Amino acid sequence: MADNTITLYGKNSVFERLKANSGSIKKIFLQENFDVPHIEKLINENNISVERLSQKQLARIKHTRDFQGIIAEVEGFGYIPFDELLLGNNGRKSTIVFLDRIFDPHNLGAIIRTLACFGGFSVVIPRFNACEVNETVLHVASGGENYVPVSMVTNLSKAIIKAKEHGYWIIGAVVSDDAKDINKISLPHPTGIVFGSEGEGVRYGVEKHLDIKARIPMEGAKLSFNVTMACAIFCHEIAKQRR
C-alpha cells in the first residue's frame, strides 16, 4: 500500500466514508460472502474499484478480527489548518475541544465519535507527545471523522492563546477545589474546552490560560471519569446550552 494511504475497516467506518467523502476512497476489498446492499449500492454508484477476497486474504491486508468483511484503501487523513478551524464554517464557529496529551487511540477515536453525534464540535491535538489520527482511531470513530474537523498544532498553549484572541472562552476540565460545577455554569460562546491526559490531567503550562475551571459533580465513589466519558458529559452540557 502506498505511503499516502491508510485502511478503513468495518461496515460503519466505510459506509460513513462512502456517504461523506467517497472521493477519498481508492479501492474496496470485500469478503467473498459480503452481502450488505446499502453499502454495495453506494460502492457501485461511486464507481469505486472492488475486489472480492477470502477471509484469509483480507486478514493479510489488515491484521485484525474486526474488519467485518470490508476494508477500504483511502487517502491519508487530512488535518484542517488551525487558522481555518478558528474561522468556522460560513462564519459559524464550532466549540473547539483541545486534547492535551491523549495517548490512547481508542480514547481519541471515541471522543471524535461522541463529538460527531453532538454536532458543532472540532478537535485540536498536539503534534508531539500525543496520539495522531491513525487507523485504530478511525475504526473506533466509526465514521465520526467525516463530521468533526481535526487540527494538529505544534504548540497547544499557543493555539489556545490564539483562540482567545479570536474571542474564544477557554474552559478546562480539571479536578480542583476552585473548579465550578459544569451544570451550574452559564457557558459563553464561542467556547474552547481543554481535556488533559488520561493519567496526569491538564498541564500547568496549559491550565494557566484557562478562563474557567470546571468539574463534573460526583456524589459516588471517589474515583474519576475516563477522559472519553468526561468529554461526553461536558460536551452534552455545552450542546444543551447552545440550543
Q: Where are the alpha helices (DSSP H) in 132-225?
A: 135-141, 156-165, 204-207
Give the model's pLDDT for residue 124.
Answer: 98
Q: Is the pLDDT of residue 11 over 90?
A: yes
Give the model's pLDDT for residue 143.
Answer: 96
Give the model's pLDDT for residue 223.
Answer: 66
| Banded pLDDT at 222 (limits 50, 70, 90) | low
CA distance 130 to 62: 24
Q: What percent of the chain shows pLDDT beyond 90?
A: 75
Measured CA to CA in angstroms, residue 24 lies from 72, 99, 110, 200 at distances of 10, 26, 22, 37
CA distance 8 to 17: 9
**In the CATH hierarchy, which fold is given to the domain comprising 82-242?**
Alpha/beta knot (3.40.1280)
Give the model's pLDDT for residue 202.
Answer: 86
pLDDT tens-digit map of 146-177: 999 999 999 999 999 999 999 999 999 988 77
> In a 10 Å sphere around its CB, with 0-12 CB exposed, 13-18 middle and 19+ buried, how is residue 140 labelled?
buried
**CATH 3.40.1280.10, the chain: domain bounds:** 82-242
pLDDT tens-digit map of 28-73: 999 999 999 999 999 999 999 999 999 999 989 888 877 899 999 9
Measured CA to CA in angstroms, residue 10 lies from 35, 67, 71, 146 at distances of 13, 5, 7, 15
Kindly state the cell numbers that stand for 84.
481555518
Q: What percent of the chain shows pLDDT beyond 70?
A: 98
| Banded pLDDT at 3 (limits 50, 70, 90) | low
Q: Is the pLDDT of residue 219 over 80?
A: no
Which class is domain 5-75?
alpha beta
**CATH 3.30.1330.30, the chain: domain bounds:** 5-75
Looking at residues 181-192, what average pLDDT do you find? Answer: 92
